[in-house]
Chain A
Amino acid sequence: MLLLSLCTVGALAQGQKGSAPIFHVIPMRGVDFVLRNSLTQKKYLIETMPGGVAMLDYNNDGLMDIFLVNAGHVRDPMSPGMGFDRHEPAYWNRLYRQNKDGSFTDVTEQAGLANAGDTNYGMGVAVGDYDNDGYPDIYVTNYGKNILYHNNGDGTFTDVTAKAGVGAGGWSVSAGFFDYDNDGRLDLFVTRYLDWSVEKSKTCGEKQPTYCPPGDFPPIANILYHNRGDGTFEDVSVSSGIAAKKGHSLGVAFADYDGDGFTDVFVANDVTAQFLFHNNGNGTFSEVGLDSGAALTSNGKMLSGMGVAFQDYDNDGLPDLVVTELPHQPYIAFHNEGQGAFSAEELESGFGALSGKVSGWGVGLEDFDNDGWKDAFIVQGHVFDNISFYDGSLHYLDPPLLAINRKGHFEKGDAGSDVPVAGRGAAFGDLNNDGWIDVVTTSLGEHPRLFQNRGGNQHWLTISLRGKRSNRDGFGARVQVNGQTRFATATGSYLSSNDKRLHFGLGDVDAANIEIHWPSGIRQTIRNVKADQFLVVEESTAP
C-alpha cells in the first residue's frame, strides 16, 4: 500500500509546473479592517507583534468566514499602570461573514464580539469546537486577558472566559486547540512571549531609538489548559511539565511526530532554543528539542523562531517542521528522520537560498498547485521599522514568499504580489471552495490581503472530519491520501488559525484512497474516492 502510494506521488511530480503566478491579490469586498498596531516613538516592543487571522465557518453555511484580531491604541508615551485602549471601534476585532457572492459582511456586533477587553492589546486567534457541539469556538490571545468566545450556534458568541478559566495573563501570543490526552475533548495551548510591561519597557539603539531585543526581557512559561468537559478548563502547565521550560515563545503547531498516537507540540522561540514537547501519553510532556535535533540550526545556532508549520513536506508520512525567523539566518526546515529524530535541513531544503535577507512570520505548508507536494507560503517584514538605518541590506517591508515544493526541495515561486508590507499573520484554506488553497494575510497598519488561488487543471480532494469518539473536529487525526499525509489541525502559522478541512492535491489522478488514523485509535479506510469534491468523513464506530 505504501509503495503504491509513493509511486503515485512520484507520478504526480511529473505534473505541470507553470511559471504563472499561483495567486492574484484581490480586494476582500466588505472588509474594511485595518490592523492598528499604533507605532510609537517610545518603541514599545508589543507594537511590532500583532495580529492574527482565522479562516473558519462559524455559522456552518459551508462558506469560510474571516476573523481578524486587531491590536489597540497605544499612547505615546504610556504612563505607568495605564492600559491599552480598545474602546474605539477602529481597534475592535472583527468577524466577517462570507456571502454567497464572495463578498463579506461585518457581523462583529451582532455576533457579540465587539468587546475585545478595553485594556487588552490584541495578538492572535485559535479556533476549535471545544464543547463538541458542532460549532467552532474562538479563543483570542492578548497582552492582558485572553478571551474564549463560545459559539452559541445561532450566529452569536458568548464570552465564557471567566467560567472556562482560560484568561491567562501577561503577553500571550499564538494558541491552538488540540486533544493531548485523546479523551475526545479539545484542550488548549497558549504561547507567551516574555515578561514585559509598559513599566519594564526599554528603548534601545545608539544612534536612533529602536526596539530592544527579546533577550533584554526575562523568558516566561507557556500554558496548557486541560478541557474538563463541563465547559471549564484546568491549568495543567505545571503538572504536565510544559511550564518547566521558559522561553520567548511565539508560534505553535501540533502533530504526532513519532507516531505513538499522542499529539506533540512544537513551539517556535525567539532567540532561544526551539521547544519540542513530546507527549508522553500520560498527561505529561518532555521537552526534547535539543536531543531530537529540532532545537537549533544545522550549525548549532539559536534561531529567532516566529511562525511554524508542522506537516509532511516530503511525503514520507512523517510530519516535518518549517520555522520562519529573522534575517541573516535561513528559514529552517527540520526534516523528520523517523524514530523521533529531526535534521535541520535549512540548506538542503532550499530555504537557505530563499531567505536570509528577510524576516518571516506566518507560514503554511499547503499544496497550492495541487501537484501532490506541499508548498510553503511565508509572510514577511522586519520587526524594526527603522532596520534599514542599522543594516542597509535589510528592509522593514517585504513581499511574501511562495516556495514551490519540487519533490521535497523548495524553489522560489511567484506569489502574485511584489508589494512590500510588514506581514505578520497568515491563514490558509479554500476560501471560495474551488478546490485550491487561498491565503489571507495581515500586515501592520494595513488592510488584510487575500491571495486568491488562480486554480488550474489538477485534481484535488478536501476532507472534513467528524469525530465521534475522537474530538468532533478530528484534530490529531493522521490522514493519508494517495501517499500524502496531513495531520488534522487548524493550528500553525503565526497568531492564526487555518481552515480545518484537509486539502490534498491529486495532480492528474482523479481518484483517491483514504486512510484515517483517528485520535481514538480507530483506523478507517475509504477506497476509490472520486476526486474534486468536498468529502465529509464521520468517524467509524468500529476499530
Chain B
Amino acid sequence: MTHALLWVSLLLQTQTAAPAVPAEATSFLQSGMQSENTNDVESAISAYRRAADLAPSSAIVFFRLGAAYVKKADYTDAIPPLKHAAELNPDAPAIQQMLGFALLGAGFASEAIPHFEKVNEAGALGIAQLQAGLPADSVANLRAALARTPSDPDLLFYLSRAAAQLSSQSLDNLLASFPDSPRAHQAKGQTDWQQKMYAEAEKEYQKALALRPDLPGLRLELGQVYEAQSDWPKAENEFRQEAKTQPGSAEAAYRLGDVLLQEGKMKEAAEELQRSNRIGPDMADTLYSLGRATASSDPATAVRAFTRVTELEKQTSLAAQAYLALAGVHRKLGKNEQASRDMQDYRDIRALIAVAP
C-alpha cells in the first residue's frame, strides 16, 4: 500500500492537463487543490464535490475528487469518480493509473490490471498481477520495472513474493498433473528438506531415483539431505555416484570433495577438489575447500587457493574466512608477520561486513 501511495503522490505532482471547466466549478477546483496543498483532504473532497456537481462532464474534476479519496486511503469511494473520469477521458494516462491504484487498493486486483496495462505501468501491473494470482506475468513485469529502477526495495519485495508464488504454483501444477513422476518426488523432497523433514525428504528422493536413476542432480540433492544431517558416509556415497554419472559436473566434484573433507579424508578431498577446479575454474567455494584440504599437507597449494578466494570474493564473509585460513597457514610456516597482515585483512573485512546494511 505504501508503494501505491508513492505512485499517487508522483501522479498528482505531474498532473497538468485539465479539460475546460465552468468558472464557478473552477473556483471550487482551485479551492480543493489549495486544501490539498495544506493537507486538508476533507475540505478538498468537499470542494471537489461541489465542483463535480457544477461540472459533471469534467474529467479533471472527477479525477481530482477520486485522487483525493485515494489520498485518504478511501479506495471504495475513490472508484466511482475515477471510473466516471475514465469514461469522460479514456485516453488520460493519469486517470487510468489512479483508477488502477484505487481498484488495487480496494482489493480488485484483476480489475486494476487493464488500467495499468493501458499506461504500460510495469511495476504497478506486476503488483496487481501478483495479487490477482498471476505470478508468472507478475514476475515478468516486476523484472521489467526493476530494470528501470533496480534499487527499488518495494519492487524487490514484490518480486520475491511473486517468484515464491510462481514456484509454489508450478509445484502444485506438477504434483497435480504428474503426481508420481520423478520430478514430483524430487520437488516434494526439496520441500521436505527445506523444512528439515529429512526422513521424508530422503523417501521422496529415493522414490524419484527408483523411477529415474539417471536424472542429473537427484543424487546431488539427496547427498545434501544427508549432509544437512552430518551423515557424511551416506552423503559421500550419493555425491560419488553423481560424480561418476556426471563426470563433467564441477558441482558434483566439489560436493564430493567437500564431504571427503568433512570426513577427514584430506588427500582424496584435495584430488576431487582439484578436479572440480579444473572443470569449473575459479569457483570460490571450491578453492576455499581445496585450501582447507591442503592446509596441513601442502601449504603452498593452500596459500594459492586461499589467496585466489580473496581475489575473487573481495569483501565477503568467504574472503574473511580465507584470510583467517591464510593466517593459520602462515603461522604454521613461521611467517608471523604475514599472518599478522592476514589477520588485519580478516578484521577489516569482518568490520565492513558488520556495518554493511
Residues of A within 8 A of B (CB): 290-291, 293, 296, 298-300, 327-328, 330, 337, 339, 341, 343-345, 347-353, 355-357, 390-393, 409
Contact = CB atoms under 8 A, between A and B. Distances in A.
Given A290-B343, A300-B324, A337-B332, A350 B198 contact: no
Contacts of A291: 340, 343
A497 to B, nearest CB: 31
B139 interface: no
Interface stretch (B88-96, B171-179, B259-267): B259-267
Contacts of A337: 331-332
Nearest to A293: B328
B295 A343 contact: yes
Contacts of A349: 264
A296 B228 CA distance: 21
Nearest to A300: B321
Contacts of B231: 357, 393
Given A347-B262, A393-B231, 20 more contacts: A291-B343, A296-B324, A298-B295, A298-B325, A299-B292, A300-B317, A300-B321, A300-B325, A328-B230, A337-B332, A339-B334, A343-B331, A348-B266, A352-B264, A353-B232, A355-B230, A356-B232, A392-B196, A393-B229, A409-B264
Interface of B: 196-199, 228-232, 261-264, 266, 288, 292, 295-296, 317, 320-321, 324-325, 327-328, 331-332, 334, 336, 339-340, 343, 346
B196 A352 contact: no
Interface of A is mostly: loop
B332 A345 contact: no
A349 B198 CA distance: 28
Contacts, number: 81
Nearest to B195: A392
A396 to B, nearest CB: 16
Given A298-B328, A299-B321, A357-B230, A390 B292 contact: no
Nearest to B192: A392
A43 B288 CA distance: 40
B88 to A, nearest CB: 53
A337 B123 CA distance: 59
A344 B332 CA distance: 11
Contacts of B262: 330, 347, 352-353, 356
Nearest to A411: B264
A227 B108 CA distance: 78
Contacts of B340: 291
A343 B328 contact: yes
B331 A350 contact: no
Contacts of A341: 328, 331-332, 339
Interface of B is mostly: helix
Contacts of A300: 317, 320-321, 324-325, 346
B94 to A, nearest CB: 46
Contacts of B334: 339
A393 B228 contact: yes
A393 B264 contact: no
B342 to A, nearest CB: 11
Contact of B264 (A293, A344, A353, A390): A353
Most central of B229, B288, B296, B327 by chain A CB within 10 Å: B229
A300 to B, nearest CB: 4
A409 B44 CA distance: 81
B229 A357 contact: yes
A259 B321 CA distance: 29
A409 B263 CA distance: 12
Nearest to B232: A353
A356 B346 CA distance: 26
Contact of A356 (B230, B320, B336): B230
Nearest to B336: A339
The 7 closest A-B pairs by CB, nearest first: A356-B230, A393-B229, A300-B321, A341-B331, A300-B324, A353-B263, A357-B230
30 contacts: A291-B340, A293-B327, A293-B328, A293-B331, A296-B324, A298-B295, A298-B325, A298-B328, A299-B321, A300-B325, A339-B331, A341-B331, A343-B296, A343-B331, A343-B332, A344-B328, A347-B262, A347-B264, A347-B292, A348-B266, A350-B264, A352-B232, A352-B261, A353-B262, A353-B264, A356-B230, A357-B231, A392-B196, A392-B197, A393-B230
B262 to A, nearest CB: 5
A410 to B, nearest CB: 9
A401 to B, nearest CB: 13
Given A353-B262, A391-B196, A345 B296 contact: yes
Nearest to A299: B321
Contacts of A347: 261-264, 266, 292
